Amino acid sequence: MLIGAAGDDGRFVPNKGMINNLVFSIDVRQAEASVPADKERILAEIEANEGGFGAIDRLAVGAISGAAYAMDQPAVLAAVGGDESPLAALQSEEALGEATRGAAAAGFLEPLRALLARGAPVESAIDGRTPLMLACQGGHELCARALLEKGANVEVVENEGWTALLFACQNGHELCARALIENGADVNKEGPRGFSCLMMACQNGHEQCARALLEAGADKEAVQNTGFTALMLSCQFGHELCVRALLEVKADIDTQNDEGFTALMLSCLNGH
């Protein structure tokens, strides 16, 4: 599976379709081991840890997604390998911005700090996506905090309507979400199709993100463009822990979406 190739100028060009296919196929439980007993032991240890298999899968997804940006940045990769001279040689704001996005997306903290120390632009963007968004999308909390310390704007909206907090919640990165909330991110800001951060978290089964949002005052009764609430989405996709988190704060169980379905109806309709 090729996730990219060299372009006409010799720079890496990611194959976004292949990267997406790889991301959606990740499941640590399908990993292979030369000794079956080792696999069983390691999987048992992972399952016993906080977050279980999902936490490892999310880290892997973040690393692969970030690679699409970092692999186009030879100076950043050289710095990761211990050679900081190519990074130090970058001069233009455009080059510094590209390197900053690459380091943030891949979770390369030390190169990112080196760039920020040189005054690299924290709001440089591609398709409207800033380094902070990329760090939060990939689950790189320390990179996100480094950018926040330099004044990165938590409320920037990219070209399709996403904020850093929406990215963090969609992908289940609780620590990134909490860092953004601590720095004033609007927990009720709507994204594409009227989805709130809480809806993103609940639709994808990210209980800890949902709890962080609820603790910060997220509107549990908000509705998106077709009348779905966070509770409805949790029930539709069978995410019991998110359902329980919402019920603990007395989310309305009788609200109907535009087609007249309640959360209970959606749960039964989908076999949950």
pLDDT for the residue 45: 75
Does 88 score more than 80 pLDDT?
Answer: yes
Does 13 score more than 90 pLDDT?
Answer: no
How many other CB atoms are there within 10 angstroms of residue 121's CB atom?
Answer: 17
76-86 b/e with 16+ CB inside 10 Å = b?
A: bbebbeeeeee
**Is residue 38 classed exposed, middle or buried when 0-12, 13-18 and 19+ CB atoms within 10 A define those classes?**
exposed
Structure tokens, 221: 């009764």
pLDDT for the residue 55: 61
pLDDT in tens, 111-138: 999 999 999 999 999 889 999 999 999 9
Tell me the three state secondary structure of residue 12: strand
pLDDT for the residue 109: 95
Structure tokens, 248: 């603990």
Tell me the three state secondary structure of residue 184: coil
Q: What is the dihedral of CA 197, 211, 207, 129, to 10 degrees?
A: 30
User: pTM of the predicted model, to two decimals?
Assistant: 0.83
Does 189 score more than 70 pLDDT?
Answer: yes
User: Looking at residues 238-264, what average pLDDT do you find?
Assistant: 97
pLDDT for the residue 211: 97
Share of the chain above pLDDT 70, in %: 79
Give the residues across from 6 on adjacent strands. 12
Does 18 score more than 60 pLDDT?
Answer: no
User: Looking at residues 69-81, what average pLDDT do you find?
Assistant: 82
Name the residue with higher pLDDT: 5 or 184.
184
pLDDT-based confidence at 19, cuts 50/70/90? low
pLDDT in tens, 23-48: 556 666 766 767 677 677 777 777 77
Distance CA 178, CA 165 (A): 9
Distance CA 41, CA 101 (A): 37
pLDDT in tens, 151-160: 999 999 999 9
User: Looking at residues 188-216, what average pLDDT do you find?
Assistant: 96
User: Looking at residues 244-257, what average pLDDT do you find?
Assistant: 97
Most confident of 20-29, 30-39, 90-99, 210-219: 210-219
pLDDT for the residue 75: 87
- Which amino acid makes up residue 144? A
The whole-chain average pLDDT of the chain stands at: 87
